[in-house]
């Protein structure tokens, strides 16, 4: 696969817009939640990102008709900046469509478990350096 400057600019522009959108949506949702310590804003963007990537996947027939710069801008860039959880959701759906659903469940559980464990380990290490 050849990566061009245009590809990088599409991903970068989408990533910028997605990151700013994540900040605004997450902060807005968290503000609506009041003084809650539960991260409703993060949950909202992760769920929204998964819904959007699923909607685009279904609409475009598995991204076959939604390719090239548009896919890089919207899926890789925007949704990647908005939430990386959307990629996990899409990959799990793709895995379950191609094989046993158990593989997709294990894949998702590995991400959540390893993500929590490494975040905890990084926090511990950061506090002890």
SS3 sequence of the chain: CCCCHHHHHHHHHHHHHHHHHHHHHHHHHHHHCCCCCCCHHHHHHHHHHHHHHHHHHHHCCCCCCCCHHHHHHHHHHHHHHHCCHHHHHHHHHHHHHHCCHHHHHHHHHHHHHHHHHHHHHHHHHHHHC
Q: What is the mean pLDDT of residues 35-43?
A: 87
Question: What is the pLDDT confidence band of residue 66, given thresholds at 50, 70 and 90?
Answer: confident
Q: What does the pLDDT read at residue 77? A: 95
Q: What is the mean pLDDT of residues 54-58?
A: 82
Answer yes or no: is pLDDT of 65 > 80. Answer: no
Q: What is the mean pLDDT of residues 94-118?
A: 90
Q: What is the mean pLDDT of residues 1-16?
A: 96
Answer yes or no: is pLDDT of 25 > 80. Answer: yes
Answer yes or no: is pLDDT of 62 > 70. Answer: no
Q: What does the pLDDT read at residue 63? A: 63
Question: What is the pLDDT confidence band of residue 69, given thresholds at 50, 70 and 90?
Answer: very high
Question: What is the pLDDT confidence band of residue 3, given thresholds at 50, 70 and 90?
Answer: very high
């Amino acid at each position: 696969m050849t990566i061009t400057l245009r590809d990088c600019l599409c991903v970068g522009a989408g990533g910028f817009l997605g990151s700013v959108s994540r900040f605004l949506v997450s902060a807005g949702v968290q503000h609506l939640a009041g003084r809650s310590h539960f991260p409703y804003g993060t949950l909202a963007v992760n769920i929204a990102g998964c819904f959007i990537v699923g909607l685009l996947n279904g609409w475009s027939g598995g991204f076959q008709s939604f390719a090239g710069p548009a896919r890089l801008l919207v899926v890789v860039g925007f949704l990647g900046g908005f939430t990386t959880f959307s990629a996990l959701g899409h990959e799990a759906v793709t895995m379950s469509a191609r094989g046993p659903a158990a593989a997709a469940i294990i894949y998702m559980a590995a991400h959540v478990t390893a993500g929590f464990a490494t975040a905890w380990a990084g926090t511990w290490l950061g506090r002890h350096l």
